[in-house]
Each structure stands twice: as C-alpha cells, then as structure tokens.
C-alpha cells in the first residue's frame, strides 16, 4: 500500500520510523505534509534560480526563511497559507529567471524539486540530506526572530540558498557531511545574531523567580519564542486591567529588564507545549501562539486561540503583521478570567520557577564558579537541555536531575526544563543548583559559558567536568546538535530516542567521531559519567 504521506522530522514520528498514514503524530494531515513538501521543493527551485547570480534582493532571502520556518513541526497547519507562500516562492523564482518559464526547450535547471526523490533515495544520502534540511529549517526559525528585530546576516542568508541547492544535487556522502557541519557553523552565527538582537533590544537577562499563580481577573496567555510579540502585547494591554502570563518557551522573557518592567507581566501558566490540550481545556482566557509548539486545538477552546507570524491553523484568528491585538484583548475582557486567584504547580508540585541565568549573568559569576570548582565545592556541571515531548521515557530527565550529585550544577534551556524546573535542589555557595539559561536559541549562551570556563581552566570544552544530555523533538534541536558537532564537542547523550532520519552508517560515523550515544537510565548514565 502506497504511503499517504512521509515525514520523520520529529522525535515522536510513528514507530520511531516515520508517519505514513492520514495524519502525523503532530496532527498535520497527509495533505498538509504534501503541501509542505511542495513548498520545500519550490524553495529548492528558487535556490536554483539564485545560483550563480551576484546580487539578490534581501527580500528573497526573507521569503526563504519564512518558507522554511513554515515547515517546522507544529507551526503551520493551514493549507491556504502554505499554498500562498509556495506561490510567492515561485513568483520570485520566475522573476529571477524570467526566460525559464517561457522556454520552449526547458533544461530543468530551475525546476522545483520533487522531494519524494529524497525520501526514496539511497539510505545514507537520504539521512544526510534530511539532516541538512531539518537543520536549516530550525536555523530559519532563529533567523526569522532576529530579522523581526532588524538584524540579519548576509553570509547566513546566502547559506540557506546554498544548502537548499545541495538537496537537489547528486552529491557524495563526504560532500553532504561537510555541508551538514556547515549548517552547524552557520547556525552558531545565527544564534549569536539572535542573542545580540534580543539583548540589544530587551537588555541582559537577570535571575528572577516566576510565580505559577494566576491572579483573579482578565488575563492573556502568550506562548512561543517571539519576544517582540510579547512586548507589543504588553504595550497594548497596559492600563487595561489585563494580566499577561507566559507559556512554554516564553518563560525566559521574565528575565529581560525591558519586559519585566511591565507590572502586568505576572507569571507563567502551564508547563511544556505538549500538555496544552489538557491545560487550555477550561482556561477562561485567550492564548496567543507566536511561533511553533501549536498543537491542533480542540473545539472546546479553539475560539480562544490566536496565532501570529508564521503560525497558522484553519479556523483560528490570525493577528496580522501590524500586531493589532485588539481581538485578543476583547476576548480576554469578555471571558473575564478566574473569579479568584488560582495556584498552579509544575509537574513536581513546585509553585514557582526561576529563569534569567543567561550567559551574561553566569559569566558575571565566573570567578566565583571557578573558585568553587578549584576548591571542590562544585564537582560537576550538567547541561540538561532541549525540547520536551509526550513520548514515554521523558521522565528520564526528571530523575537524572533528581539523582545528580549534590555538588553538581544543572544548566538548562528550552522547554525540556519543565520536567524538573520546579524542583528545589538548593544552592551551592549561593548559586542555585538549577540555572535556566533561556529558550532553545539560547544554546549560544550555554556554549559561550562552556568555552569561557574551558579558557579559564586552560583546557578544551571536552576536558571540562561537564556532561551534555539533550532531549530533542523538532528541527531546532537538530541545528543545535549540528552546531555542537561543528564545534567539536563530544560525548553528547541524546534522547529519549535517536532520530529516525539517521541511518545506521551515519550513526556509526557520529558515534566513532563524536562519541554520541543514546540515553539509557539515569542510574546507568550517571555511573558511566562518574565511573
């Protein structure tokens, strides 16, 4: 029986092999999957039209970034929206190569790519092309957010086109491996750009305790990664008696001075993104999704969901580029919120969480940390970061953190932290044992801290008392992993399962050259780390 779709880009893909039926595990239908493949093929066609041309309008690269972002898991479920983006991509291609569309003897050099040729190709080639494609999809999300704040990088933009072009070419395993590492290199530059954009706009994050209590009265929940949307929402709700609560990856916003100065930014609602269908079921407030992490909303609360930017779902109100949040504000006032304060908890029963330990704050305490390591007060660092998900086995990360030695510091980022960020593990020499460094894109900060510590101790990152244990779900985790590999960081533990798109031969290469391994049990992994 012929597959109705094929998608294996996320961690929860069916059977750890690929979604092939009428709908994927993420909720996108086979029709949407095909439209996303069509959009990807059109983007490769556009990259072919760009190839060899010296000057390309920056708007073309912005469109490439938008198109790639729209194909990230849990972003765009809207057929009309995907068709509209694809049409714009093809118009740009025809503008760049006007003679091709009217040619009587077409050579095919600027044709759209049939993505099925990748999915059905040689196993190792498919694996590497998938790694490149999923990596640039994740990188596009970071480039998109930086661009919203007015920053872009010509080298990064040009690489998007180069990487897309490679997907339609007959290249060797060695050539594709090289491009995959280039994805890691350019993504590091991209994350650095976004870090500059965020800190330059909103200030350097500082530690803050965030309550999980929702106060009585009207409120709005805002999810995703885009801090600009939050800032605009805070400005538009000022003085209206509406409180604002973050959700998921928006939690680190509380650490930024230019955001936390708004007194109606009150706290955080809910836990990680995959719990939203349960947590939003009876909420008397609207929810805004600014980026990915949208699950198909249930009818019981669909009328309370709003989307912005690249996020789109059929039948859900979309806030345009003018960012006029009036419909959301009116909905919040209509619903009225809770009649009394409601105390919620994290998954471990905690009533507060902390965030704001960006690289600026951590490095301000570098002398203290170095002294604590040299004196034996701190013996080990764990970077436990990445995406959360619903697959069983993700309690591994909770148990690992609980069982980590008392003289260890837990650095964390991205939404995987919701498995343990409400735990109170105490302090070491005045430093909290759990330090939330921010969103997934703030992996740049974690890398910066690691390299600074290595320099201070006169060793390489791989010689530090540091263990990197990652949970992954979607494509932004892929590009971060490629960045770590590009930087030569070894012995990364990855889970809860290994990516379905990595073939046995490519996995063997990664194990042999980088020491990548799958997580096992907390007890066994800790034994091996300290053995």
pLDDT in tens, 270-291: 999 999 999 999 999 999 999 8
Whose CA is closest to 53, among 144, 161, 147?
161
Residue 54, pLDDT score: 79
pLDDT in tens, 190-204: 999 999 999 999 999
Whose CA is closest to 40, among 185, 184, 168, 169?
168
Common-topology check for domains 208-343 and 357-530: yes
Q: Contact 288/327 with Cβ under 8 angstroms?
A: no
Environment class of residue 110 by beta-carbon count within 10 Å: exposed (0-12), middle (13-18) or buried (19+)?
Answer: buried
Residue 55, pLDDT score: 86
Mention every residue, 6+ apart, whose C-beta is less than 8 A from residue 498.
Answer: 507, 518
SS3 label, residue 304: helix
Report residue 411's pLDDT band, with 50, 70 and 90 as the boundaries: very high
SS3 label, residue 426: coil
pLDDT at 260 over 70: yes
Question: In the numeric block, which tokens belong to residue 243?
Answer: 């409180």
Report residue 223's pLDDT band, with 50, 70 and 90 as the boundaries: very high
pLDDT at 292 over 70: yes
pLDDT in tens, 99-136: 666 665 566 678 899 999 999 999 999 999 999 999 99
Question: In the numeric block, which tokens belong to residue 90?
Answer: 């093809």
pLDDT at 219 over 50: yes
Q: Contact 478/472 with Cβ under 8 angstroms?
A: yes
Residue 1, pLDDT score: 42
pLDDT in tens, 512-530: 999 999 999 999 999 999 9
pLDDT in tens, 313-368: 999 999 999 999 999 999 999 999 999 999 999 999 999 999 999 999 999 999 99
Q: What is the CATH number of domain 357-530?
A: 3.40.50.2030
- Compute the mean pLDDT over every residue in the chain, rounded to the nearest whole number: 95
Domain boundaries, the chain: 14-201, 208-343, 357-530
Percent of the chain past pLDDT 90, that is, above it, reads 94
Q: What is the pLDDT averaged over residues 423-446?
A: 95
Whether the model clears a pTM of 0.75, i.e. scores above it, the answer is: yes
One DSSP character per residue, 186-204 reads: HHHHHHHHHHHHHHHHH--
Distance, in Å, from the CA atom of 46 to the CA atom of 161, rounded to the nearest integer, reads 8
Whose CA is closest to 26, among 65, 68, 71, 66?
71
Q: Distances from the Cα of 240 to the Cαs of 52, 94, 237, in angstroms?
A: 54, 48, 5
Q: What is the pLDDT averaged over residues 205-225?
A: 97
SS3 label, residue 278: helix
Q: What is the pLDDT averaged over residues 182-187?
A: 98
pLDDT in tens, 386-398: 999 988 889 999 9
Distance, in Å, from the CA atom of 8 to the CA atom of 18, rounded to the nearest integer, reads 4
Q: Does domain 208-343 have CATH number 3.40.50.10800?
A: no
pLDDT in tens, 454-470: 999 999 999 999 999 99
Q: Does domain 14-201 have CATH number 1.50.40.10?
A: no
Residue 392, pLDDT score: 80
């Amino acid at each position: 029986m012929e597959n109705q779709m094929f998608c294996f880009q996320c961690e929860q893909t069916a059977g750890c092999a690929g979604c092939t039926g009428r709908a994927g595990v993420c909720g996108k239908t086979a029709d949407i999957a095909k439209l996303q493949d069509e959009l990807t093929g059109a983007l490769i066609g556009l990259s072919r039209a760009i190839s060899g041309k010296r000057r390309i309008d920056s708007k073309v690269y912005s469109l490439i970034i938008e198109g790639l972002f729209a194909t990230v898991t849990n972003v765009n479920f809207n057929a009309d929206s995907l068709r509209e983006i694809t049409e714009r991509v093809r118009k740009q291609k025809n503008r760049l190569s006007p003679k091709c569309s009217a040619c009587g003897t077409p050579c095919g050099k600027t044709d759209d790519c049939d993505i099925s040729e990748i999915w059905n190709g040689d196993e190792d080639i498919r694996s590497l092309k998938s790694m490149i494609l999923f990596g640039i999809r994740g990188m596009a999300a970071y480039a998109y957010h930086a661009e919203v704040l007015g920053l872009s990088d010509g080298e990064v933009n040009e690489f998007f086109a180069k990487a897309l072009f490679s997907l339609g070419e007959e290249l060797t395993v060695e050539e594709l491996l090289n491009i995959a590492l280039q994805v890691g290199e350019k993504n590091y530059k991209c994350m650095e750009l976004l870090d500059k954009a965020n800190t330059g706009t909103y200030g350097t994050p500082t530690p803050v305790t965030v309550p999980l209590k929702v106060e009585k009265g009207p409120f709005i929940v805002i999810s995703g990664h885009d801090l600009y949307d939050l800032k605009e929402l805070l400005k538009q709700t000022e003085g209206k008696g509406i409180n604002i609560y973050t959700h998921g990856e928006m939690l680190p916003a509380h650490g930024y001075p230019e955001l936390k100065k708004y007194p109606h930014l009150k706290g955080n609602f809910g836990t990680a993104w995959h719990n939203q269908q349960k947590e939003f079921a009876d909420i008397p407030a609207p929810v805004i999704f600014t980026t990915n992490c949208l699950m198909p909303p249930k009818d019981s609360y669909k009328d309370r969901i709003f989307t912005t930017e690249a996020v789109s779902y059929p039948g859900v109100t979309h806030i345009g580029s003018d960012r006029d949040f009036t419909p959301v504000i009116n909905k919040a006032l209509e619903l009225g919120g809770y009649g009394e304060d409601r105390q919620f908890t994290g998954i471990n029963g905690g009533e507060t969480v902390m965030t704001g330990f960006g690289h600026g704050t951590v490095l301000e305490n570098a002398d203290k940390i170095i002294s604590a390591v040299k004196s034996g007060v701190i013996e080990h660092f764990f970077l436990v970061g990445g995406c959360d998900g619903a697959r069983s086995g993700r309690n591994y990360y909770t148990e690992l953190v609980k069982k980590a030695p008392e003289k260890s510091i837990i650095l964390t980022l991205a939404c995987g932290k919701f498995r343990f960020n409400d735990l109170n593990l105490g302090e070491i020499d005045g430093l909290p044992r759990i330090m939330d460094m921010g969103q997934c894109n703030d992996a740049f900060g974690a890398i910066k801290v690691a390299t600074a510590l290595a320099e201070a101790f006169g060793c390489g990152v791989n010689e530090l008392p540091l263990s990197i244990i990652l949970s992954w779900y979607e494509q932004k985790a892929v590009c971060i992993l490629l960045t770590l590999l590009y930087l030569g960081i070894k012995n990364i533990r990855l889970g809860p399962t290994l990516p379905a798109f990595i073939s046995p031969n490519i996995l063997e290469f990664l194990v042999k050259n980088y020491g990548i391994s799958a997580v096992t049990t907390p007890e066994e992994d800790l034994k091996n780390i300290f053995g």
